[in-house]
Homo-oligomer: A and B are copies of this chain.
Amino acid sequence: MTRIKCTVAYDGAAFFGYQVQPGQRTVQGDIEAALQEVHKGRFLRISASGRTDAGVHAMGQVFHFDTDTSIPPEKWPIILNQKLQNDIAVLSAEAVSEDFHARFSVEAKEYRFIIDRGSVAMPFRRHHAVHYPFPLDVTSMREAAACLLGEHDFTSFSSAKTEVVDKVRTIHLIEMTEHDAELIFRVKGNGFLYNMVRIIVGTLLEVGSGKYEPSDVKRMLEAKDRSVAGKTAPAHGLYLWEVEYKK
């Protein structure tokens, strides 16, 4: 038995999210169907670093599976991509030890969120960036973002539907870069709660528009109450960009 770790990119537009759901096209469903073909009809469950919601993209989602085939690890991208549709692509694969787990061995994750700030929404970006044509004070947004760095209880910045009990996470980096008409958020941390990046981005946009002061973000954290933070930004601007593992 060999454990294979794969990095996969997908365009979230046509998927009903990552996780298998009956009667819906999902990323996990497509990958497991492709693996089942390779394993002559035998079903294999894959484990990913985490779920992504409907519409959310991935540039570097990671999953693993165990195979009894003798296929060389580096051949898996070619084999799987032949069976997968072209809105999903396995970028790389390698053999890993049995104590590697795509979810439990995660050291850090990076998400990106893309805002199209053009006055008119760019047709090419309609599924891949969120159009926000209103003025933004990016300096205030950076000031607000600094309050979120480090270890905090992110209850206020996670969906009220979150089931996990421990809501303490560490954010290593929140960066905003302007590239042509786009504003790109990079958010990196040791783990993220449900909707956390989308609520952080939504709140920072409300700081940028003047609805909140940068210092309000500190109070939002302290309140530990989802209702005090800003709106959840739409799914289609979000990318699971990279997953880092312990060496």
Q: Give A residues with C-beta under 8 Å from B.
A: 9-11, 57, 77, 81, 86-91, 120-124, 126, 128
Which residue on B lies nearest to A77, using beta carbons? Answer: B120
Can you give 21 contacting A-B residue pairs, CB < 8 Å? A9-B122, A9-B123, A9-B124, A10-B123, A11-B123, A11-B124, A11-B126, A77-B120, A81-B120, A81-B121, A86-B121, A86-B123, A86-B126, A87-B123, A87-B126, A88-B123, A89-B120, A89-B121, A90-B120, A91-B120, A124-B128
Give min CB distance, A133 to chain B, whole Å: 11
Instruction: List the 3 closest A-B pairs by CB distance, nearest first.
Output: A11-B123, A87-B123, A86-B126
Q: How many Å lie between the Cα of A10 and that of B81 in the bound state? A: 29
Give min CB distance, A112 to chain B, whole Å: 12
Which residue on B lies nearest to A59, using beta carbons? Answer: B124
Residues in B whose Cβ lies below 8 Å from that of A126 = 11, 86-87
B122 touches A89 (CB 8 A): yes
Residues in B whose Cβ lies below 8 Å from that of A9 = 120, 122-124
Give min CB distance, A127 to chain B, whole Å: 9
Residues in B whose Cβ lies below 8 Å from that of A86 = 121, 123, 126
